[in-house]
Amino acid sequence: MEWTSDAIVLGSRPHGEGSVILEVMTAERGRHMGLVKGGRGRRVAAVLQAGNTVQLTWRARLDAHLGMFTAELVTARAARLMESAVGVYGVQIIAAHLRYLAERDPHPALYEATEIILDHMDNALDVGRLIVRFELALLDELGFGLDLSACAATGATTDLVYVSPKSARAVSRAAGEPYRDRMLPLPAFLRDASIIPEADDLRAAFQLTGYFLDRHVADPRAIPLSEARAQLLARI
């Protein structure tokens, strides 16, 4: 068995004396693991840093085996990302979120979104905006997507300012006002991409996506959301 593909490095862990087990995200084969012999050597280790894009060749006798990776650098991002706390937190958050996906289950839209985020980690507000949208996409890919198109109670498509924690659907101001203490805030920028969010908008958006990620993804798997998420929010 053999295939070759571009992949984004998510992380690695030592294996044996000088090798590593590499974890990557690919467009066609999803999150994938493989053994890299000599992966702890200085030259190879520099290539296998989280955030870099590499061209991988995977080989194994059977498809179910861990297999062996060989890697060549395509896009070097790791050094730039590690220059700022925002870059470090961003990489950690994205990698942690992708680990909620089943291994070898393709999610090309999330792969593309990951590349976009890694190439636009210039400031906390931009990173926060992109990661919130990534979290909405992750929920959707896992079958827990939010419906922000119309009010769950009235069908109205304007003045949607809440999300019901039970139905994961938008609620208008008029319909939700009597229950506002039980509703989640819906920042306007999540429905209108032309709106540039402020820090308070992003905090509300992180509260919204975090609620549903905890409920449907993190808690059932007993894998808490990355601590880097709270650290990035503090920066915002």
- So what's the pLDDT on residue 173? 97
- pLDDT tens, residue by residue, 196-234: 999 999 999 999 999 999 999 999 999 999 999 999 999
- Checking if the pLDDT of 75 tops 90, the result is yes
Q: What global pTM score does this model have?
A: 0.95
Task: Map out the domains of the chain with their CATH numbers.
Answer: 2-77 (2.40.50.140), 84-148+186-235 (no CATH)
Report, as an integer, the average pLDDT of 41-63. Answer: 96
Report, as an integer, the average pLDDT of 32-41. Answer: 96
Give the pLDDT band of residue 182 (cuts 50, 70, 90). Answer: very high
Give the pLDDT band of residue 172 (cuts 50, 70, 90). Answer: very high
In terms of average pLDDT, the best of 63-67, 94-98, 191-195 is: 94-98
Max distance between CA atoms of the chain, in angstroms, equals 64
- So what's the pLDDT on residue 162? 98
Tokens of 85: 């706390």
Give the dihedral sign, CA 115/36/31/5.
positive
- So what's the pLDDT on residue 220? 97
- Checking if the pLDDT of 122 tops 90, the result is no
Percent of residues, the chain, with pLDDT higher than 70: 100
